[in-house]
Structure 1
Amino acid sequence: MIIWRGWGILGLFVTLAGVFGSLTVVEALLGTSESALALGGGIGFLLAGVANFFLGRWLNIIRPAQNAEDFRNQLRADLWERVANDAFQMAPGAPEPSSEAEAAQQIEQVVAGESRNAERAGRNIHTFFFIPLQWLGALECIGGLVFSFYSPFAG
Protein backbone atom coordinates (compact mmCIF):
# COMPACT_ATOMS: atom_id res chain seq x y z
CA MET A 1 0.00 0.00 0.00
CA ILE A 2 1.46 3.34 -1.04
CA ILE A 3 0.83 5.96 1.61
CA TRP A 4 2.86 8.84 0.22
CA ARG A 5 3.54 10.54 -3.08
CA GLY A 6 6.59 12.55 -4.02
CA TRP A 7 8.50 13.64 -0.95
CA GLY A 8 5.51 13.03 1.35
CA ILE A 9 7.52 10.52 3.40
CA LEU A 10 9.49 13.47 4.75
CA GLY A 11 6.37 14.40 6.73
CA LEU A 12 6.70 11.17 8.71
CA PHE A 13 10.41 11.67 9.35
CA VAL A 14 9.96 15.31 10.41
CA THR A 15 7.13 14.32 12.76
CA LEU A 16 9.08 11.48 14.34
CA ALA A 17 12.15 13.68 14.80
CA GLY A 18 10.10 16.51 16.32
CA VAL A 19 8.10 14.34 18.71
CA PHE A 20 10.93 12.10 19.89
CA GLY A 21 13.34 15.03 20.12
CA SER A 22 11.01 17.11 22.27
CA LEU A 23 10.00 14.10 24.38
CA THR A 24 13.67 13.44 25.10
CA VAL A 25 14.30 17.05 26.13
CA VAL A 26 11.14 17.36 28.25
CA GLU A 27 11.77 14.00 29.91
CA ALA A 28 15.30 15.09 30.82
CA LEU A 29 14.06 18.40 32.23
CA LEU A 30 10.74 17.48 33.87
CA GLY A 31 10.84 13.72 34.41
CA THR A 32 8.49 11.02 33.19
CA SER A 33 5.18 12.13 34.65
CA GLU A 34 2.12 11.87 32.44
CA SER A 35 1.72 15.64 32.26
CA ALA A 36 5.38 16.10 31.26
CA LEU A 37 5.06 13.50 28.50
CA ALA A 38 1.84 15.11 27.23
CA LEU A 39 3.60 18.48 27.18
CA GLY A 40 6.61 16.99 25.35
CA GLY A 41 4.39 15.30 22.79
CA GLY A 42 2.41 18.49 22.30
CA ILE A 43 5.51 20.58 21.79
CA GLY A 44 6.90 17.95 19.42
CA PHE A 45 3.75 17.88 17.31
CA LEU A 46 3.66 21.67 17.30
CA LEU A 47 7.28 21.94 16.12
CA ALA A 48 6.83 19.15 13.56
CA GLY A 49 3.63 20.78 12.33
CA VAL A 50 5.35 24.11 11.75
CA ALA A 51 8.24 22.38 9.96
CA ASN A 52 5.89 20.26 7.81
CA PHE A 53 3.76 23.29 6.97
CA PHE A 54 6.71 25.25 5.61
CA LEU A 55 8.23 22.18 3.94
CA GLY A 56 4.91 21.36 2.27
CA ARG A 57 4.39 24.96 1.25
CA TRP A 58 7.79 25.02 -0.42
CA LEU A 59 7.39 21.61 -2.10
CA ASN A 60 3.74 21.96 -3.15
CA ILE A 61 3.23 25.68 -3.81
CA ILE A 62 6.40 27.75 -4.10
CA ARG A 63 8.61 25.37 -6.08
CA PRO A 64 5.92 24.47 -8.69
CA ALA A 65 5.31 28.19 -9.26
CA GLN A 66 9.05 28.74 -9.77
CA ASN A 67 9.26 25.76 -12.13
CA ALA A 68 6.29 27.04 -14.14
CA GLU A 69 7.87 30.48 -14.42
CA ASP A 70 11.15 28.90 -15.57
CA PHE A 71 9.18 26.91 -18.17
CA ARG A 72 7.46 30.08 -19.42
CA ASN A 73 10.77 31.97 -19.66
CA GLN A 74 12.45 29.11 -21.54
CA LEU A 75 9.51 28.81 -23.93
CA ARG A 76 9.57 32.58 -24.58
CA ALA A 77 13.31 32.45 -25.31
CA ASP A 78 12.83 29.53 -27.71
CA LEU A 79 9.98 31.28 -29.51
CA TRP A 80 11.89 34.56 -29.81
CA GLU A 81 14.79 32.63 -31.31
CA ARG A 82 12.39 31.18 -33.87
CA VAL A 83 11.13 34.69 -34.65
CA ALA A 84 14.73 35.87 -35.16
CA ASN A 85 15.34 32.95 -37.56
CA ASP A 86 12.05 33.58 -39.44
CA ALA A 87 10.83 30.13 -38.42
CA PHE A 88 8.00 31.10 -36.04
CA GLN A 89 4.39 30.24 -36.78
CA MET A 90 1.69 30.50 -34.16
CA ALA A 91 0.04 27.38 -35.58
CA PRO A 92 0.86 25.10 -38.50
CA GLY A 93 -0.03 26.90 -41.71
CA ALA A 94 -0.48 30.28 -40.01
CA PRO A 95 1.31 33.25 -41.57
CA GLU A 96 4.47 34.58 -39.98
CA PRO A 97 4.04 37.69 -37.83
CA SER A 98 4.42 40.90 -39.81
CA SER A 99 5.89 43.00 -37.00
CA GLU A 100 7.69 42.60 -33.71
CA ALA A 101 4.59 43.71 -31.80
CA GLU A 102 2.50 41.07 -33.55
CA ALA A 103 5.20 38.48 -32.81
CA ALA A 104 5.20 39.47 -29.13
CA GLN A 105 1.42 39.13 -28.97
CA GLN A 106 1.48 35.73 -30.67
CA ILE A 107 4.32 34.51 -28.46
CA GLU A 108 2.40 35.49 -25.33
CA GLN A 109 -0.67 33.64 -26.63
CA VAL A 110 1.40 30.51 -27.26
CA VAL A 111 3.09 30.78 -23.85
CA ALA A 112 -0.26 31.24 -22.10
CA GLY A 113 -1.72 28.24 -23.91
CA GLU A 114 1.26 25.96 -23.32
CA SER A 115 1.86 26.87 -19.69
CA ARG A 116 -1.74 26.98 -18.49
CA ASN A 117 -1.47 23.66 -16.67
CA ALA A 118 2.28 23.70 -15.96
CA GLU A 119 1.92 25.14 -12.46
CA ARG A 120 -1.22 23.23 -11.58
CA ALA A 121 0.37 19.91 -12.56
CA GLY A 122 3.12 20.33 -9.97
CA ARG A 123 0.96 21.47 -7.07
CA ASN A 124 0.09 19.24 -4.11
CA ILE A 125 1.88 16.16 -5.40
CA HIS A 126 3.84 15.67 -2.17
CA THR A 127 1.31 13.95 0.11
CA PHE A 128 1.22 11.63 3.09
CA PHE A 129 -1.94 9.51 3.36
CA PHE A 130 -3.34 11.63 0.51
CA ILE A 131 -2.98 14.82 2.59
CA PRO A 132 -0.69 17.53 1.16
CA LEU A 133 2.26 18.16 3.49
CA GLN A 134 1.30 21.75 4.30
CA TRP A 135 -2.13 20.64 5.50
CA LEU A 136 -0.61 17.75 7.43
CA GLY A 137 1.53 20.35 9.19
CA ALA A 138 -1.55 22.41 10.04
CA LEU A 139 -3.27 19.33 11.50
CA GLU A 140 -0.17 18.52 13.55
CA CYS A 141 -0.09 22.08 14.90
CA ILE A 142 -3.69 21.75 16.04
CA GLY A 143 -2.93 18.38 17.64
CA GLY A 144 0.16 19.83 19.31
CA LEU A 145 -1.86 22.67 20.80
CA VAL A 146 -4.48 20.23 22.10
CA PHE A 147 -1.80 18.04 23.72
CA SER A 148 -0.03 21.06 25.19
CA PHE A 149 -3.22 22.50 26.68
CA TYR A 150 -4.19 19.04 27.97
CA SER A 151 -0.84 18.46 29.69
CA PRO A 152 -1.59 20.35 32.97
CA PHE A 153 -4.69 18.19 33.46
CA ALA A 154 -2.97 14.87 32.70
CA GLY A 155 -2.15 12.54 35.58
Structure 2
Amino acid sequence: MIIWNGWGILVVLITAVFTVPLGFLAAEVLGSDSAGLGAGAGLVLGAVGVYFAGRKLNAPRQGFHPATGQPVEYRNAHTFFFVPMQYWAFVLPIGGVAAAISALPL
Protein backbone atom coordinates (compact mmCIF):
# COMPACT_ATOMS: atom_id res chain seq x y z
CA MET A 1 0.00 0.00 0.00
CA ILE A 2 1.32 3.43 -0.97
CA ILE A 3 0.70 6.24 1.51
CA TRP A 4 0.92 9.88 0.53
CA ASN A 5 -0.48 13.21 1.60
CA GLY A 6 -1.19 16.13 -0.71
CA TRP A 7 0.92 15.92 -3.87
CA GLY A 8 3.35 13.40 -2.35
CA ILE A 9 2.55 10.88 -5.09
CA LEU A 10 4.63 13.10 -7.37
CA VAL A 11 7.70 11.41 -5.89
CA VAL A 12 6.77 8.26 -7.80
CA LEU A 13 5.62 10.05 -10.92
CA ILE A 14 8.63 12.36 -11.26
CA THR A 15 11.02 9.50 -10.61
CA ALA A 16 9.26 7.29 -13.17
CA VAL A 17 9.42 10.04 -15.81
CA PHE A 18 13.23 9.90 -15.63
CA THR A 19 13.88 6.27 -14.70
CA VAL A 20 11.74 4.40 -17.24
CA PRO A 21 12.94 6.15 -20.42
CA LEU A 22 16.59 6.12 -19.37
CA GLY A 23 16.36 2.45 -18.43
CA PHE A 24 14.91 1.58 -21.84
CA LEU A 25 17.45 3.81 -23.60
CA ALA A 26 20.38 2.15 -21.84
CA ALA A 27 18.96 -1.28 -22.63
CA GLU A 28 18.62 -0.35 -26.31
CA VAL A 29 22.03 1.29 -26.69
CA LEU A 30 24.20 -0.76 -24.33
CA GLY A 31 22.30 -4.06 -24.27
CA SER A 32 19.59 -5.44 -22.07
CA ASP A 33 22.03 -6.25 -19.25
CA SER A 34 22.79 -2.54 -18.85
CA ALA A 35 19.26 -1.32 -18.19
CA GLY A 36 20.19 -0.80 -14.53
CA LEU A 37 22.74 1.84 -15.52
CA GLY A 38 20.05 3.94 -17.19
CA ALA A 39 17.63 3.30 -14.35
CA GLY A 40 20.27 4.38 -11.85
CA ALA A 41 20.91 7.58 -13.78
CA GLY A 42 17.15 8.13 -13.95
CA LEU A 43 16.82 7.77 -10.20
CA VAL A 44 19.55 10.35 -9.64
CA LEU A 45 17.97 12.79 -12.11
CA GLY A 46 14.54 12.11 -10.65
CA ALA A 47 15.90 12.98 -7.21
CA VAL A 48 16.79 16.45 -8.48
CA GLY A 49 13.26 16.95 -9.81
CA VAL A 50 11.70 15.64 -6.60
CA TYR A 51 13.86 17.98 -4.52
CA PHE A 52 12.84 21.12 -6.36
CA ALA A 53 9.17 20.10 -6.59
CA GLY A 54 9.11 19.27 -2.87
CA ARG A 55 10.76 22.55 -1.92
CA LYS A 56 8.27 24.49 -4.02
CA LEU A 57 5.19 22.62 -2.78
CA ASN A 58 6.20 22.50 0.89
CA ALA A 59 7.34 26.12 1.16
CA PRO A 60 5.57 27.94 4.01
CA ARG A 61 3.20 30.69 2.95
CA GLN A 62 2.39 33.87 4.83
CA GLY A 63 -1.28 34.53 5.52
CA PHE A 64 -3.64 36.01 8.03
CA HIS A 65 -5.93 34.33 10.55
CA PRO A 66 -9.51 34.87 9.36
CA ALA A 67 -10.95 35.69 12.79
CA THR A 68 -8.19 37.74 14.39
CA GLY A 69 -6.35 39.15 11.38
CA GLN A 70 -3.02 38.20 12.93
CA PRO A 71 -0.22 37.02 10.63
CA VAL A 72 0.03 33.24 10.36
CA GLU A 73 2.49 30.99 8.55
CA TYR A 74 0.69 28.22 6.68
CA ARG A 75 2.69 25.05 6.10
CA ASN A 76 1.91 22.49 3.44
CA ALA A 77 2.27 18.78 4.05
CA HIS A 78 3.08 17.00 0.81
CA THR A 79 4.52 13.70 2.02
CA PHE A 80 5.23 10.25 0.67
CA PHE A 81 5.27 7.51 3.32
CA PHE A 82 5.15 10.26 5.97
CA VAL A 83 8.42 11.82 4.68
CA PRO A 84 8.27 15.31 3.12
CA MET A 85 8.81 15.20 -0.64
CA GLN A 86 12.09 17.10 -0.74
CA TYR A 87 13.77 14.64 1.62
CA TRP A 88 13.22 11.78 -0.82
CA ALA A 89 15.88 13.47 -2.96
CA PHE A 90 18.46 12.11 -0.51
CA VAL A 91 17.09 8.55 -0.59
CA LEU A 92 16.57 8.11 -4.34
CA PRO A 93 20.24 8.45 -5.35
CA ILE A 94 21.12 5.60 -2.99
CA GLY A 95 18.77 3.39 -4.99
CA GLY A 96 20.25 4.77 -8.21
CA VAL A 97 23.78 3.87 -7.17
CA ALA A 98 22.62 0.41 -6.11
CA ALA A 99 20.87 -0.12 -9.48
CA ALA A 100 23.94 1.03 -11.41
CA ILE A 101 26.29 -1.17 -9.39
CA SER A 102 24.05 -4.19 -9.86
CA ALA A 103 24.13 -3.66 -13.63
CA LEU A 104 27.92 -3.61 -13.87
CA PRO A 105 29.44 -6.75 -15.36
CA LEU A 106 31.61 -8.63 -12.90
TMscore range, shorter length: 0.7 to 0.9
Name the aligned partner's letter for residue 28 of structure 1: E
Give the superposition deviation at 1:28.
Answer: 1.7
Are the aligned partners of 2:14 and 2:50 in contact in 1 as well (CA < 8 Å)?
Answer: yes
Residues of 1 paired with 2:98 and 2:3: CA distance? 26
Give the superposition deviation at 1:150.
Answer: 4.4
The reply on whether 1:142 has 2:94 as its aligned counterpart is yes
Please name the residue that 1:17 is paired with.
Answer: 17
The structure with the larger Rg is 1
Deviant stretches of 4+, over 3 Å: none
Query: Within 5 A, what are the aligned runs for 1:1-155?
Result: 3-33=3-33, 36-61=34-59, 64=60, 67-68=61-62, 71=63, 114-115=70-71, 118-119=72-73, 121-123=74-76, 125-152=77-104, 154=105
Q: Which has the higher helix share?
A: 1
RMSD: 2.4
Name the aligned partner's letter for residue 8 of structure 2: G
Consecutive unaligned residues of structure 2, counting only runs of 5 or more, are none
User: What TM-score results when the alignment is normalised by the length of structure 1?
Assistant: 0.58
Give the superposition deviation at 1:19.
Answer: 1.2
Q: Which has the higher strand share?
A: 2
Are the aligned partners of 1:53 and 1:133 in contact in 2 as well (CA < 8 Å)?
Answer: yes
Residues of 2 paired with 1:2 and 1:32: CA distance? 29
Are the aligned partners of 1:50 and 1:138 in contact in 2 as well (CA < 8 Å)?
Answer: no
Count how many residue pairs are aligned between Structure 1 and Structure 2: 104
Please name the residue that 1:107 is paired with.
Answer: none
Residues of 1 paired with 2:52 and 2:97: CA distance? 18
Name the aligned partner's letter for residue 89 of structure 2: G
Report % sequence identity.
34
Please give the per-residue CA displacement for 1:29-56, whole angstroms capped at 9, x wherever unaligned. 11101xx122112111111111101110
Name the aligned partner's letter for residue 19 of structure 2: V
